[in-house]
């Protein structure tokens, strides 16, 4: 199913299921959280043309975690910034690297993105000059749990998936992230698609071989989801890739996230990190597509990320007022 929260003509928000070019009205509701956590029954109502509705954030985001799960992306970034060293750091093939983002700035597709300001270097504060996109999937937790969650039970807690654009201010990030990691360069906005697609809608395929074998708590048959993806910038498709290229899968992410006893809450959003594939036109960010030479995003630029069966996530850059 493709489930979201919509309104029509300024009326109160309602739950809806997307079917082709219509939205089936499933009753009043401002969030999918009760449906995701309790399996709340949904009533089949009238059909509304898809083009007549306004979409809202589909669920209340509890926590937001962004991983670093694409081998090609991590390798590209390592080669770019550590050209004389091994591109992957020693931990990368041994655990799903990630960081906690800011749940309060997750916004629905179509929301304008205001250019972030921050420190870009010593005595240098101002608007980001290297504003970037990141093509990702985001897995949404339905069933809560007290950790740890075994890897072979992890998918029981995943309700569905959204497309994610984890906007990134590369110049702010480069100055601030050592030694503790991303902060203001990432926390200003993360856009998601307007409906959650349940896992049963996705095509599961064998995943990338994992070498060395993961530790026991992460060990599972490698799998991925076959989802063709693309990036459109100002009307031009600049990249095409596929989610099947991801190295670490969502079951391993859930198992690792909770391995220290951390809880899962309904509405937790677990993003994959940038998804890149083999080849120069299969990269999921501008920093990779231009090899850090730019151009990066200018005010007025519009980015649309698309995923087969998932819809799109759209955002336009505007200056901060």
DSSP state of 201: G
Which residues touch 215 (CB under 8 Å, ≥6 apart)? 94
Measured between alpha carbons, how far is residue 78 from residues 41, 87, 186, 296, 312 in Å?
A: 48, 4, 19, 19, 29
Measured between alpha carbons, how far is residue 283 from residues 11, 167, 245, 253 in Å?
A: 41, 15, 11, 22
Catalytic residue among 44, 56, 73, 256: 73
* Three-point CA angle 270, 250, 102, nearest 5°: 10
147's tokens = 């950790």
* Active-site annotation holds for 117: no
Distance of CA 58 to the CA centre of its chain: 14
Of 240, 219, 214, nearest in space to 228 by CA = 240
Measured between alpha carbons, how far is residue 213 from residues 94, 150, 189, 193 in Å?
A: 8, 17, 35, 34
The burial of 235, by beta-carbon neighbours within 10 Å (0-12 exposed, 13-18 middle, 19 or more buried), is given as: exposed
Measured between alpha carbons, how far is residue 226 from residues 125, 203, 207, 308 in Å?
A: 42, 6, 10, 9
What are the DSSP calls for 62-127, one per residue? Answer: --EEEE--BHHHHHHHHHHH-TTS-SS-TTTTTS--EEE--GGGEEETT--EEPPEEEEETTEEEE
| Active-site residue list | 73
């Amino acid at each position: 199913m493709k489930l979201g929260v919509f309104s029509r003509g300024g009326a109160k928000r309602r739950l809806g299921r997307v079917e082709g070019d219509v939205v089936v009205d499933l009753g009043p509701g401002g969030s999918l959280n009760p449906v995701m956590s309790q399996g709340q029954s949904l009533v089949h109502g009238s059909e509304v043309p898809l083009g007549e509705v306004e979409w809202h954030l589909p669920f209340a985001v509890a926590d937001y975690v962004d991983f670093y799960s694409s081998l090609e992306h991590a390798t590209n970034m390592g080669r770019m910034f550590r050209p004389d060293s091994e591109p992957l750091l020693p931990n990368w093939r041994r655990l799903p690297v990630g960081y906690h983002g800011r749940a309060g700035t997750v916004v629905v597709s179509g929301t304008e993105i205001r250019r972030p300001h921050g420190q870009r270097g010593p005595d240098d504060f101002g608007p980001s000059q290297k504003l970037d996109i990141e093509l990702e999937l985001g897995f949404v937790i339905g069933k809560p749990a007290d950790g740890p969650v075994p890897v072979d039970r992890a998918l029981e807690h995943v309700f569905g998936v959204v497309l994610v654009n984890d906007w990134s201010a590369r110049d702010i990030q480069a100055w601030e992230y050592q030694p503790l990691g991303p902060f203001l360069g990432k926390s200003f906005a993360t856009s998601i698609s307007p409906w959650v697609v349940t896992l049963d809608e996705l095509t599961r395929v064998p995943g990338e071989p994992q070498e060395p074998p993961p530790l026991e708590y992460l060990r599972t048959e490698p799998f991925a989801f076959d989802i063709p993806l693309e990036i459109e910038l100002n009307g031009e498709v600049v990249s095409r890739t596929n989610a099947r290229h991801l190295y670490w899968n969502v079951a391993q992410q859930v198992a690792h996230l909770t391995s220290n006893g951390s809880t899962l809450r309904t509405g937790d959003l677990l993003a994959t990190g940038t998804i890149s594939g083999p080849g120069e036109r299969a990269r999921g960010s501008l920093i990779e597509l231009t090899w850090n030479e730019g151009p990066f995003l200018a005010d007025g630029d519009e980015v649309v990320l698309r995923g087969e069966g998932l819809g799109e996530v759209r955002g336009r850059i505007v200056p901060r007022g």
